[in-house]
């Protein structure tokens, strides 16, 4: 999944594709570089960002969706608003990527149910302005897993088909760097929910922190690509269904190497198998 933010303020590509031709051109380049989906977002979700209204969000994304789908590019819409998702689906989007996992807008389940489209349920605890304070967990992996299971149950109860759902740990959303690393290390525990998993680490600040200079200055976003590629390959090798990245060429080259060497899967840690067995024995859905 290639990222195309048509926002003035996203953390990595904000402002670059605000112009329609530039946005469409970039979307086509992402597809040509190997993206199976181009993810179009009109509202920045970076920590601390203020919200924009639905009309502004729709005005930003709809023309780009129309032009890209007309050019044969498969598109997802990155929105947590049912109104925007509905209009995006009419404009040609094939997938709804909802960073709130259905929590931000109670009407989203109806929209995706009626459209029969895939729905990415990302783990989320609140809007960008407040999310730093929400990064408290007992065990981040168990807690994210339990909260995703609730999102899945709510979607199913609303009539969305199970084979339309994709889960996402929501790296950086109400998560500290330590939380992001823990989730990355124990992806198998999220995979055993039994749904395809999307992984979005691309250029995020925890990678900048990992690669900080000797004086502690985080590595700038544009220089986090090798680390992003490493996270993508590790996530796919661990069983992720997809990765959401800004530089599609770099990640698809790395995944081609992984495929050419036999697509080796990382071993599932024993605790993940045990947890699945425990859940089964006790009839618990975490």
Which has the closest alpha carbon to 170: 188, 184, 156?
184
Which chain residues interact with ligand PMM by CB under 6 A? 3, 5, 10-12, 41, 45-46, 78, 97, 99, 120, 122, 168, 170-171, 198, 200, 244
Q: For residue 166, give the 3-state DSSP assignment.
A: strand
- Residue of closest CB approach to ligand PMM: 200
Nearer to ligand PMM, 244 or 275 (CB): 244
Q: For this structure, is 204 an active site residue?
A: yes
Helix axes 177-185, 225-238, angle to 10 degrees: 40
Supply φ then ψ for residue 221, to 5 degrees.
-55, -40
Q: Where are the alpha helices (DSSP H) in 98-197?
A: 108-115, 140-157, 177-185, 187-191
Nearer to ligand PMM, 220 or 278 (CB): 220
Which of the following is catalytic: 244, 265, 274, 275?
244
Please give the Cα distance from 142 to 121 (Å, whole number). 17
Query: Quick check: 82 and 107 in contact, CB under 8 A?
Result: yes
Nearer to ligand PMM, 38 or 275 (CB): 38
Nearest approach, Cβ of residue 45 and ligand PMM (Å): 5
Instruction: Transcribe 36-56 into DSSP letters.
Output: S-EEEESS--STTPPP--HHH
Burial of 23 (0-12, 13-18, 19+ CB in 10 A): buried
Nearer to ligand PMM, 88 or 198 (CB): 198
Burial of 262 (0-12, 13-18, 19+ CB in 10 A): exposed
- Measured at the CA of 226, the angle between CA 220 and CA 230, to 5 degrees, comes to 125
Query: Quick check: 60 and 78 in contact, CB under 8 A?
Result: no
Nearer to ligand PMM, 12 or 231 (CB): 12
Nearest approach, Cβ of residue 127 and ligand PMM (Å): 13
Nearest approach, Cβ of residue 273 and ligand PMM (Å): 26
Nearer to ligand PMM, 167 or 255 (CB): 167
Which of the following is catalytic: 81, 145, 164, 204?
204
Q: For this structure, is 175 an active site residue?
A: no
Please give the Cα distance from 122 to 144 (Å, whole number). 10
Active site residues: 204, 244
């Amino acid at each position: 999944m290639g990222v195309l933010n048509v926002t003035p303020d996203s953390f990595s590509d904000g402002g670059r594709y605000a112009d329609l031709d530039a946005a469409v051109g970039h979307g086509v380049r992402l597809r040509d570089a190997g993206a199976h989906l181009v993810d179009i977002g009109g509202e920045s979700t970076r920590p601390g960002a203020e919200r924009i209204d639905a009309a502004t969000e729709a005005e930003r994304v709809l023309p780009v969706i129309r032009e890209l789908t007309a050019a044969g590019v498969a598109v997802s819409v990155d929105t947590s608003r049912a109104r925007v998702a509905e209009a995006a689906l009419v404009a040609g989007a094939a997938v709804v990527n909802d960073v709130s996992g259905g929590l931000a807008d109670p009407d989203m389940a109806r929209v995706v149910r009626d459209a029969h489209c895939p729905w990415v349920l990302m783990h989320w605890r609140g809007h960008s302005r407040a999310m730093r304070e929400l990064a408290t967990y007992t065990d981040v992996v168990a807690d994210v897993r339990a909260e995703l299971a609730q999102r899945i149950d709510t979607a199913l109860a609303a009539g969305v088909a199970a084979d339309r759902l994709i889960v996402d740990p929501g790296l950086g959303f109400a998560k500290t760097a330590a939380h992001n690393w823990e989730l990355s290390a124990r992806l198998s525990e999220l995979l055993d929910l039994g749904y395809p998993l999307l992984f979005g680490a691309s250029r995020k600040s925890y990678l900048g922190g990992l690669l900080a200079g000797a004086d502690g200055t985080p590595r700038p976003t544009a220089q986090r690509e090798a680390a992003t590629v490493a996270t993508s390959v590790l996530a796919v090798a661990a069983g992720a269904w997809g990765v959401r990245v800004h530089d599609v060429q770099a990640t698809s080259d790395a995944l081609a190497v992984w495929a050419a060497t036999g697509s080796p899967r990382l071993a599932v840690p024993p605790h993940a198998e045990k947890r699945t067995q425990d859940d089964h024995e006790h009839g618990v859905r975490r």
